[in-house]
Structure 1
Amino acid sequence: MPNAGLAYTVLGRAAENERILDAVSNHLNSTPSGTVDVVVDDLAPLAVREGVDSAVTFVDGLLERGRGRAARIAIGCSFEASGELLSRAGARVDSVVGTEVAAAVERLSRDDPTTFGYVRRHWAEAKRGIEACDRNYPQSKQVHAALMEPETTPRTLGATLSGLVTLGALDTWGNTVGSTRYDLTAYRPDRTWAVGAALAATDSDD
């Protein structure tokens, strides 16, 4: 293909789903099976415009046309996408990644690999701790105390929470002296799901 192996078609912002799917089919029909990756850069605008069900139906149509022909199908979702969209789309395709979140995860991996490692291993436990904690501005040890049979320690959980702050899923409370307190009123669960999806994509690339 031209453009360093990238095939693209400009359909316009108002293109109907079926027209997009037909364009994908045309590209797949013109190449050997298993040689093309299909990537949708952002599914969230469709979900906002037409609803999550419509977006998932689009993904199903993409899978139907790509089955046995596409090497891999990946869906991008900006972090504003709902957790429902992320989970339902992610259950169908090879990967689903928040587009802006993926870049943030990559930056963390490059700039602070130690914290990235903690987030990569423990983000799901940190999410459970945040959601189980009944304090608005806890320290990491208080989030840790809310967990049942944690794999983390208060220190490693604190490093994970710090990484989630860097990734925009959480915030710190500034009016404190001493140990960091986290502002759970600013917790963003959908952003956290997108972080998890982006981390899963890095795992699959290893």
Structure 2
Amino acid sequence: MNDIVRSGAAASTQVMPNSGVAHMVIGRDTERERVFDAVADHFDGAPSGTVDVFVDDLAQVAVRNGVDSAVTFAERLIERFRGRASRIRIGCSIEGPAELLSRVGGSMDAVRAVDPDTMAAVERLSGDDPTTFGYVRRHWVEAKRGIETCDRNYPQSKQVHAALTEPETTPRTLGATLSGLVTLGALETWGDTVGPTRYDLTAYRPERTWAVGAALEAGVSEE
């Protein structure tokens, strides 16, 4: 029989002993630290590194309480349980606020999600242009950082590269990565230039970039 544990307004927790799962439903007006205290109860008596923490959808927190609140929730969760939990996984709907995906992603070790449209686009790039796909797979995080750091609206790849600190890419490999992100719908080029390609950073889509990263993390083959 399932054991149901209730802790006031904080949460209701359904414990399924045979499967080793405790499912907690958070109350709408629950204070953040009360939620963490309820989660911490499940660590009592458990050896370090044997408990996983999984948040179903952080986007719901953002919709209800704002992006700042959701980002703080994720950061505090990681701060409190990193080192104690075996894994901390935070789900976030791709349809959630783009700002949330962009801000909270920097605190994650990896990003995984399911977005069929983006997955299909990544698989097409892998088949049609495996060289560019390889650059995107290896350097999409650095390209994202360069785009978000660059203070120009319509830069060339070398100007995006110049905005990076200690980059692993070269201007050429970064340019190939940016080109791949254009193909994947995360970025656009600017006008019909005769010289080097310029990228329209005003049309940058951070939520699409995270979706691309999620598809890559999901294990699209490079072959």
Change (3 A) 1:78 1:6: farther
1:188 CA displacement: 1.9
Change (3 A) 1:36 1:186: same
Residue in structure 2 matched with residue 14 of structure 1 by the alignment:
28
Aligned positions of 1:55-70 closer than 5 A: 55-59=70-74, 61-63=76-78, 66-70=81-85
In 2, Cα distance between the equivalents of 1:182 and 1:102? 26
Change (3 A) 1:56 1:96: farther
1:160 CA displacement: 1.5
* Higher helix residue share: 1
In 1, Cα distance between the equivalents of 2:214 and 2:88? 15
1:158 CA displacement: 4.6
What is the one-letter code of the residue matched to 1:66?
Answer: F
Whether the aligned pair in 2 keeps the contact of 1:115 and 1:160 (CA below 8 Å) is yes
What is the one-letter code of the residue matched to 2:179?
Answer: S
Residue in structure 2 matched with residue 152 of structure 1 by the alignment:
171
Aligned positions of 1:124-143 closer than 5 A: 124-125=142-143, 128=146, 131=150, 133-135=152-154, 143=156
Whether the aligned pair in 2 keeps the contact of 1:28 and 1:66 (CA below 8 Å) is no
| Percent of residue pairs bearing the same amino acid type | 45
1:68 CA displacement: 4.6
In 1, Cα distance between the equivalents of 2:51 and 2:120? 24
CA RMSD of aligned residues (A): 4.8
In 2, Cα distance between the equivalents of 1:72 and 1:115? 32
Larger radius of gyration: 2
- Alpha-carbon deviations, 1:73-113, whole Å to 9, x = none? 233344524334444xx0xxx53536357994697379615
Whether the aligned pair in 1 keeps the contact of 2:71 and 2:103 (CA below 8 Å) is no
Structure 2 gap segments, 5+ residues each: 1-14
Work out whether 1:38 is the aligned partner of 2:89. no
TM-score of the pair, normalised by structure 1: 0.58
Change (3 A) 1:53 1:19: same
Residue in structure 2 matched with residue 139 of structure 1 by the alignment:
none
2:65 aligns with one of 50, 55, 60: 50
Whether the aligned pair in 2 keeps the contact of 1:44 and 1:81 (CA below 8 Å) is no
In 2, Cα distance between the equivalents of 1:73 and 1:6? 16
Change (3 A) 1:53 1:186: closer
Structure 1 gap segments, 5+ residues each: 136-141
1:15 CA displacement: 6.7
Change (3 A) 1:96 1:77: farther
- Alpha-carbon deviations, 1:1-34, whole Å to 9, x = none? 9799672515267373456435533443374331
1:199 CA displacement: 8.8
TM-score of the pair, normalised by structure 2: 0.55
Residue in structure 1 matched with residue 138 of structure 2 by the alignment:
121
